Amino acid sequence: MPKRKPGRTPKSPLKEDEMLSLDQAAAALGVSRSTLYRWQNQGRLRGFKVGRQWRFRRSDLDKFSLMTHPSAAGVDVSQIDEILAGLKADTKEAANLIFDPAPAGYPTTEEEKAVDSLLATMLAGAAEVNASDLHVEPERDGTVVRQRVDGVLHELLRLPRSSHNALIACVKVHAGLALDQQHLPQDGHFRFALGGLDRDVRAATLPTLHGESIVMRLLVRSTDLPGLDLLRMHPDDRARYERALKEPSGLVICSGPTGSGKTTLLYAGLMRIASPDLKTLTVEDPIECSFPHILHTAINKKAGYTFEVAQRALMRQDPDVIMVGEIRTLESAELCVQAAITGHLVLTQVHAVGAARAVTRLFDMGIEPFMLAETLILTLGIRLARRVCPKCAQPDEPSFSLLSPLSELARAGGYELSEKPKFLRGAGCPHCQNTGYRGRTGLYETMEIDPTLSRLIATRADERALQEAAVKGGMTTIAADGLRKAAEGLTSVAEVWRIVPKD
């Protein structure tokens, strides 16, 4: 055996793989240093002594995390197969779903394969009915899985308690989450392909009384988003939006609750104006779609790449148009206003219940009224109402107790109900899963900032004063647009009343 020259360390055969320190390995597995020491001493996990320090190979850690997690133990495969048989009967393309990429080393056991097939079938079924979210919720005696279709949650199935941890672990494996971290929320994502479309899934866990709950949000990765022509905006609302998009600078704000269609509305605006002649940039969390002539950047909080950091970086890219995915902080709001002041068209969104409330929301954040009055050119409010199913639509006579208060809201919002409205409702059929609704349509209000509104904003007027002035200037509120679309037979009076702001 040849002698090693003094002072020279033998070459490691593992130079092709990343080596982690003891602290890094413990953090990767979500355990303490002492636990990692114990596993290494027991021979369960392989470590390498380099000088006086222990080093661990990342691939070994990944395999250990998958192979040693006991969550699939105790799963009754026959029960899962029985549930799968019922699901697959209603799901046409379950077998064609492909996880991209498939996790290395998973699934291995029969139990894991059954649970992985269950997850794939659930996702395929959700995609087929255009569900936006899947909820996996633990209860005392079992697990309930619900899916949100057209904004409303529906129970999909119930699972035995023994399969809950296995299903949660399956989602975590695909989303790259720590398997043994069950006491803190986690966020991750993964992808799958189905029916020619790539879909992103954002997974978020939450520790609860009976175990971890997880919500999976399904996002279609496609450039085939509806443009302004397909958003069913009233001609007046669309004209205001298009006028704002033609401005060389200023601030356009879209408002509404989570899942109300704000991003789609902003994307439709970007698609309208993006061209080789304009430098258009977006900062999002995450990037939901990509389009020609637009550069997209996604924030990465773990790396310190926040909205605020990204917004400053965008300003050094010589942009003409900027879209900021969301305003949550005063600093982000100030950067948007400063960008608008310095000659850029800025599109963004805030969580607020209406166009006027978006203005007061920025006041609450700390934006100076005079700066907002100088830069704001348009605020939009949006809600999504379920459309009456065309297969089972029939004439409807809404009750006076429902129609009367909605008519009062619409009248105050700039719309008077016609004498012969065409009210419809869905009776329920297989096409709409017996809900009476199929698909959704937008309800809009567009507050174009004229000199009167600008003066009110500069004096920090309240929401009611802003809305009244906007209605006098020609705006119709979400309630007004909702009743108008119900009178046209697009949605029902009951659905409009369910979603419109009442104050």
pLDDT in the model for residue 66: 54
Reported as a single tens digit per residue, the pLDDT across 318-369 is: 999 999 999 999 999 999 999 999 999 999 999 999 999 999 999 999 999 9
Count structural domains, the chain: 3
Question: What's the Rg (C-alpha) of the chain?
Answer: 27
pLDDT tens-digit profile of 147-162?
999 989 999 999 998 8
Residues near 35 by beta carbon (within 8 Å), at least 6 away in sequence: 26
Q: In whole angstroms, give the CA distance from residue 295 to residue 379.
A: 24
Is residue 8 domain-resident?
no
What is the C-alpha separation between 127 and 133, in angstroms, rounded?
A: 10
**Domain end point (choices 221, 244, 272):** 221
Residue 77 included in any domain: yes
- Separation in Å, CA 282 to CA 100, 237, 287, 315, 490: 25, 24, 9, 11, 33
Residue 84's domain is classified under what CATH number?
Answer: 3.30.450.90
Q: Is the pLDDT of residue 79 over 90?
A: no
What is the per-residue pLDDT for 388? 96
From 7, 39, 67, the end of a domain falls on 67
Q: Identify the pLDDT of residue 65.
A: 60
- Give me the domain span that covers residue 26: 19-67
Q: Tell me which of 40, 67, 94 is where a domain ends.
A: 67
* pLDDT band, very low/low/confident/very high, at 25 (cuts 50, 70, 90): confident
Condensed to tens digits (0 to 9), the pLDDT of residues 383-394 reads 999 999 999 999
Q: Identify whether 158 is part of a domain.
A: yes
CA pair distance 284, 347, nearest whole angstrom: 12
Q: What pLDDT is recorded for position 217?
A: 93
Is residue 74's pLDDT more than 80?
no
Nearest to 316 by CA among 293, 288, 297: 297
Question: Which residue's entry shows tokens 């069950």?
Answer: 182
Read off the pLDDT of each residue in 305-315 and give the average, rounded to a whole number.
93
pTM above 0.85, yes or no: no
Residue 411 or residue 418, greater confidence: 411
Q: What is the pLDDT of residue 63?
A: 66
Residue 279 and residue 162 share a domain: no
User: Mean pLDDT over residues 390-414, rounded?
Assistant: 94
127 and 239 inside one domain: no
Report residue 2 as tokens: 């040849």
Interval 163-206: pLDDT, tens: 898 999 999 989 988 887 788 899 888 999 887 788 889 999 99
What average pLDDT score do residues 86-93 get?
Answer: 78
Q: Verify that 79 and 47 share a domain, yes or no.
A: no
The pLDDT of residue 6 is: 46
